[in-house]
Amino acid sequence: MLSPRIRAHGRAFAHIAEFHPELTALRRDLHAHPEIGFEEHYTARRVVEALKVCGVDEVHTGIGRTGVVAVIHGRQRTSGRMIGLRADMDALPMTEHNDFAWKSSRPGMMHGCGHDGHTAMLVGAARYLAETRQFDGTAVLIFQPGEEGFAGAKAMIEDGLFERFPVQSVYAMHNWPQMKPGTVGINPGPMMAAADRITIEVSGKGGHGAHPYLTVDPVLVSAHIITAVQSIVSRNVRAIDSAVISLCSMQAGDPGAFSVVPGKATLVGTVRTFNPDIQSLVERRLAEVCSGVAMGLGATAHVQYDRVYPATINSAPEARFAADVAQRLLGHEHVVRDMEPSMGAEDFSFMLQVKPGAYLRLGQGGEGSCMLHNSRYDFNDEVLPLGAALHAGLIEQGMPLSGATD
C-alpha cells in the first residue's frame, strides 16, 4: 500500500501503482544480489528479462561492458524526438548490517546507495511506456554500470552510446533520504561537485626514533602539510565559491616498528569543486603548498592530482522542464526548484557534458532516515511508483502526442 503521504496525479502514477508489488519484488531481489562496477552480470540479466516481459521494442546489452539499453517507440514517431532516461545499477563494496529477508547475500557487497531502487523504477517506467505508448518519439532507457567510482557513464559514452542512440536530452534521478517521500528537488545549475583524487608522496630520510636529528621525518612533514593545505580554501577561494579538500588517509612506516622513522609517507584524499577555474586553482596551490612545506623542512613532496568525475551541472531549460513535470505529478508545494547542491559526486556528469539534461533528487526518507552509504541503509519501496511515473512523465511531456492530455 502506498502511504497517504504520497499524493501523485495522473494516469501514469495510477497505472504503475497497479504493479507496485512486482517492482518491489524486483528491487528486493536486486538488493539481495548486489554487484560492484562492471560485474553487474546478474543485475543485467534480471533487467533484460524484465524488459522483455514489459514488451519494449529493442534491448541492447554489453554497452560499456555490462550496460543495458532499452528502446521504446511511441504511438507516433513524427516528431523525430528521442529522450534518454538513465538509472545506475551497481552496488558498493561494503558490508550490510541489516537483518531483513532481502539483505545482501554477498559478503562485502551492498546496495547502500539505492541503485537497486533506481533500476526498478526505470523498469517500471519501461513497462508503463511499452503498455501505453502515449508519446510521439522514441524513449531510450539506459541502465548504467559502475557509477560508484568506475565511471560507467563514461564507459558507455566511449562505447558509442549517443552515436547509437542520439537522444536530444537525458535525465536521471537519485533517491535522497534527507527529503520526505513524495518530494522532488532540482535546480537549474550545479547539483553535484566534481570529485578529484589527490595522492601526496612525501620523501624524507629514515632513521632511529631516538635520534630524530639525524633524520628528515616525513611523518612530521605530512602533519604540517595536512594543516597547511586547509589554508588553500580559506585563503585562496572566495567565500562565495565552494571547495573542499579532505585528506582522508595517511600511510607511513610499520605499526610494529615504534622506534623507526620511515623514509616515506603517503597522504590520500579528495577535492570537491563546482567551478573548473576553482578546480584548477586548487590543483595548482596544492602542488605549491605541499612542495613548499616539504622543502622548508628538508623533504620533498610530489602531488598526483587525478580528475575523476566532473561536476554535475544541469542545463537550465531541461531542469525547468523536469521541475514542471514533477510539479504536475506532485503539486508545486512538493517540488524544490532551488535545491542546494551537494559536494558529493555523480558520473551522470559525463552524460551532461555531452547532452543537455537534468539530474533530480527523489525524496524517500525524511527526518531520522538512514543516509546513503550507511551499512543499515535500504531503499524505500514506497516511492517506486512515484519515481517510475516521474520517468514516464519526462517522456510523455517531453514528446507529447498531438492533442494529448494527462
Residues with a known catalytic role: 90, 147
CB 266 within 8 A of CB 247: no
Beta bridge partners of 260: 208
Residue 108 near residue 28 (C-beta atoms within 8 A) = no
Residue 401: CB partners within 8 Å, gap ≥ 6? 74, 75, 76, 134, 135, 136
- Residues 6 or more apart in contact with residue 4 via CB below 8 angstroms: none
Are the CB atoms for 327 and 217 separated by under 8 Å?
no
Task: Identify each DSSP E strand in 193-333 by its residue range.
Answer: 194-203, 207-208, 243-252, 260-261, 264-273, 300-309, 312-313
What are the CA-CA distances from residue 124 to residues 42, 219, 370 (Å)?
Answer: 18, 54, 25
User: What region, left, alpha or beta, does residue 55 occupy, with left being phi > 0 and alpha being psi -120 to 50 degrees?
Assistant: left
Asked if 93 and 36 touch (Cβ cutoff 8 Å), the reply is: yes
> Which residues neighbour 341 within 8 Å (Cβ) at sequence distance 6 or greater?
187, 189, 190, 191, 192, 193, 242, 274
The alpha helices in 189-298, defined as continuous H runs, are 218-228, 230-236, 276-296
Using DSSP, state whether 139 is helix, strand or coil: strand
Q: From residue 305, give the alpha-carbon distance in Å to each of 32, 178, 271, 283.
A: 37, 32, 9, 7
* Residue from 126, 132, 20 nearest 382 by CA: 20
| CA pair distance 164, 16, nearest whole angstrom | 29
